[in-house]
Amino acid sequence: MSLKITLIGHATLLIEWNGLHILTDPNFSSRVLFFKRLEALRYDPAHLPKIDALLLSHAHYDHLDLFSYKYLPSDVPVFIPEGMSKAITHFVKNPVVELATWGRHTILDKLEICAVPAQHPGGRLFCRWRYPRCHGYVLTLDNESLYFAGDTAYRNDFTDLKNLFPIKTALLPAAQVYGSFYSRKRHMNIDDMIQCWSDLGSPDLIPYHWGSFFKIFNDPEKTEKVLRKKAAGDPLLAEKLHLLQNGESWIRHQIPNAV
């Protein structure tokens, strides 16, 4: 199966999988609240292909950026955690599909979208609506699964996902280089992310949530240095880690059948 992942920036990833196009947590804006993007966006959202599904993990401003929805046709379905409809429908016309944790929905008769747990307090500041839920999503197509973790702390049940789904690709947040005891209750630092990757069965790994906003947590140079050092000491991680810069893509070419 052909698979191409483009890290547009932060948690915005374009998944192109056997002709399907899925976009995660779109954010094309130059700032999140008072925090400026660390570098100019290297992907022009005007060049997005026709999107089949949009996955929204939670309502924090860096993940739910309503200004970015202008780049998406109003018929693109938005998959959201249960109870979050008004966060979308008050502002844009796109159809929403609310999923409870472990809820599943199939699009185009072939791609299954399953909402999976995330340990991360959602919510939206300065707004009368508050949306505390946060999800990751597992996509399954032709007996192969891809995991997008959204925002989450490390949990000791990632092995459950490994047992439930044939995960070949994991998109995981490297949300903090180190992370304090407090912050690790809501975000994974790099060691947590690597442990999560291992728990998932060491699939192909694409880290995100670094190098776009919040330099104090996601310093690009430190994140890259630490990740490359970890990979240098772990041959399996070195093989599976695809460390994309913003705007870069990883392509897994179709493997021809053996004759």
- Number of DSSP helices (H) and strands (E) in the chain, helices first: 6, 15
> Does 60 help bind Zn ion (rule: CB under 5 A)?
yes
Q: Is 68:32 a contact under the CB 8 Å cutoff?
A: no
Stretch that binds Zn ion, among 98-106, 111-119, 147-155, 225-233 (CB under 5 A): 147-155
Minimum CB separation of residue 150 from Zn ion in Å reads 8
Is residue 25 at the binding interface for Zn ion, with CB under 5 A as the rule? no
Token pair of 239 as six digits: 């093989």
* Segment near Zn ion (CB under 5 A); pick from 18-26, 87-95, 109-117, 148-156: 148-156
Closest CA to 158 of 136, 191, 182: 136
Helices marked H in 113-202 — which ranges? 158-164, 190-199
Q: Which stretch binds Zn ion (CB under 5 A): 18-26, 29-37, 145-153, 170-178?
A: 145-153
Whose Cβ is closer to Zn ion: residue 88's or residue 231's? 88
Task: State the number of binding residues for Zn ion (CB under 5 A).
Answer: 2
One residue of 151, 192, 199, 204 binding Zn ion per CB under 5 A: 151
Measured at the CA of 162, the angle between CA 159 and CA 168, to 5 degrees, comes to: 140
Q: Which is nearer to Zn ion, 151 or 204 (CB)?
A: 151
Give yes or no for a contact between 58 and 151, defined as CB atoms under 8 angstroms apart: yes
* Contacts with Zn ion, residue ranges (CB under 5 A): 60, 151
